Amino acid sequence: MAVQLKNKRPSWAEPYKIKVVELVRMTSPEDRRKALEAAGYNTFLLRSGQVYIDLLTDSGTSAMSDRQWAGMMLGDEAYAGSENFYHLEAVIRKYYGYRHVIPTHQGRGAENIISQILIKPGDIVPGNMYFTTTRLHQELAGGTFADIIIDEAHDPRSEFPFKGNVDLAKLDALVKQHGAKKIPYVSLATSVNMAGGQPVSMQNLKELYRYTRKHGIRIIHDMTRVAENAWFIKQREKGYAKKSVAEIVREICSYTDGATMSAKKDALVNIGGFLAVNDRKIYQEASNLVVVYEGLHTYGGLAGRDMEAIAIGITESVDDYHIHARIGQVEYLGNKLRDAGVPIVLPIGGHGIFLDARRFLPHLKQLEFPAQALAAAIYLDSGVRSMERGIVSAGRNKETGDHYYPPLELVRLTIPRRVYTQAHMDVVAESIERVYRRRRSVPGLKMIYEPKYLRFFQARFKPFSK
C-alpha cells in the first residue's frame, strides 16, 4: 500500500508486533576485553554470544514473519522442479519483472556465475562503487573494476540526495579509452552499500539506460537493497511521491538487463539469493554453470523451504509501511548521533549508519586502521558490534600489491530488519557518544595477520600501546 507522507507524517512505528523473542547475553567490560583480544581486534571474529547488540550486518539477520515461517512448512524438498521454485520465479517476475530466474545459495553465488559468463580477461567492468565480493568475482573472471560513481559519494560530508548516481562522463571516458566491446556490462548497485546505503535516482538510471543502449552495453543490477532505494526515490525525487515502493522497484528493474540478488537483505530471509536475467542465451549458460557451483537450476543450493521464505519475503519487502518503519528506525539512530555532533555519513542511508572514522579519530593515520580501531572501541564500551568499511575492506590492488587507500574510512552500524527496538537504538547512540567524548584515547591498530582474499573477514590486529 502506498504511504502518503506529503500531508500527514505518520510515525515510522513498526507494522507488526512481536510473537517470539530471542534472549541476548549481557557482557561485562572484562568479558569484552578478553573476547576482543581473542578475536584479534576484528569484530568478524567475535562469537555472537559475546555480543549484546549485533550491528555487524543486515545480511541474513532479519526476523522472518509468521507467514514466512508458515511458508517454511510448505517446503517441497524435491531435488528437481520444487513447487517453491515456481512460486519464487512467479514472485520475481511479478515484483521485479525479470524473465529468467536461477536461485543461488546467496548473492555471491550469482555474482560468480554472471561474472564467469559475461567477463573476458582484459575486460573493464564499470560500477557505482565497488562491493567486496562483487569486485572479487569480476577480478577472478579476468576483469578490472572501474569506479564510475559521482564524486559526491566519496565525500562523507556531501548531502547530495542521490550519492549512488553514476557519473556518465566517467563511463563515457572509459568507453572512449577502451571501446564498448571491452565493457561487458555496467555493474549497477541500488542503495550503494559502500557509499553508506546511498540511493541512485530514477533520472540517473534512465540516462544510464539510454547511454548503454546506444553503445550496446548491458546493465547488471545488484538489487540487494532495491526496495530501500525505491523508498528514497519516493521521498526525494519529483513525480514519485504518489507511487508505491512496489511500482518504483519494478520501474528500476525495467532499466536493467539482469540482476544479482542477496535475498539475505531486502528479501527478509536468513539465507538465499538468485540471478535473474532477461536474455535467454545468458539464462541457458547460467543454468548450465549453476549445476557446477550451486546445484540444479531449480534449487541452486537452497532448500525448497528457503525459496518459499524468499518468495514471501519479497512480497513483504516492497510494502510501503514495512520500508517506512525499516528506514525510519535507521534515521532515528542517525539523527540522534548527528544531533550529538558525532561525524556520520550524510544523508543517512538505508541500511545503517556509517561513522566517519577519519573525523572521529583524527589522530590516527589510515594505516593505523582508524575504522577498525573504532569498531573495536565501540565493542569494548558496550558490546555493540559494528564493522570496518575502510582500508581493510578495500584490500590490495591485484597488480601492484599495494593497499587501496579508499577516501571513505567508515564504521558501519548496520541495522537488521525487524529485530531491534527503539530502546536498543538509544543504547547504541549512548555508547557511541561515550566513545566520542574520549576519542583521543582510542589507539590505532597494527595488522598482524592478513588473509589473501577479502581480508577484512579474518585479518587480525593488535593495538599500538599508548
Q: Where along the sequence are the contacts to ligand F0G (CB under 6 A)?
A: 57, 59, 106-108, 131, 133-134, 189, 193, 222, 224, 262, 264, 273
Q: Decide if 47 is catalytic.
A: no
Catalytic residue list contains 222: yes
CB of 110 to ligand F0G, least distance (A): 8
**385 and 352 Cβ atoms separated by less than 8 Å:** no
Min CB(35)–ligand F0G separation in Å: 21
Number of Cβ within a 10 Å radius of residue 94:
14
The least CB distance from residue 368 to ligand F0G, in Å, is: 24
Spot the catalytic one: 31, 66, 79, 120: 79
Q: Which of 43, 57, 132, 414 is an active site residue?
A: 132
Closest among 309, 466, 347, 421 to 13, alpha carbons compared: 421
Locate cell 507524517: which residue? 9
Note if 79 is an active site residue.
yes
What is the smallest separation between the CB atom of 221 and ligand F0G, expressed in angstroms?
Answer: 11
Among 85, 98, 131, 379, the active-site one is: 131
Rounded to whole angstroms, the Cα distance separating 336 from 346 reads: 13
Q: Is 298 a catalytic residue?
A: no
With CA atoms as reference, report the closest residue to 228 among 254, 260, 267, 195.
267
Judged by beta carbon, residue 107 or residue 444, the one nearer ligand F0G is 107
CA-closest candidate to residue 406, choices 369, 431, 461, 442: 369
Residue 187 or 329: the one with the smaller Cβ distance to ligand F0G is: 187
Contact at 8 Å (CB) between 149 and 196?
no
Task: State which residue, 273 or 390, has the beta carbon closest to ligand F0G.
Answer: 273
- Which CB sits closer to ligand F0G, 65 or 193? 193
105 within 8 A of 307, measured Cβ to Cβ: no
- What is the closest distance, in whole angstroms, from the C-beta atom of residue 11 to ligand F0G in the complex? 28
Residue placing its CB nearer to ligand F0G in the complex, 133 or 386: 133
Query: Closer CB to ligand F0G, residue 60 or residue 161?
Result: 60
CB of 10 to ligand F0G, least distance (A): 29
Q: Please, are residues 195 and 235 in contact by the beta-carbon 8 Å criterion?
A: no
Annotated catalytic residue within 135, 389, 417, 418: 389
389 catalytically annotated: yes
305 is catalytic: no
Active-site residue (options: 265, 385, 412, 455):
265
Residue 320 and residue 26 in contact, taking contact as beta carbons nearer than 8 Å: no
The residue annotated as part of the active site, out of 222, 257, 306, 320, is 222
144 is catalytic: no
Residue with nearest beta carbon to ligand F0G: 107
Residues involved in catalysis: 79, 131-132, 222, 265, 389, 456
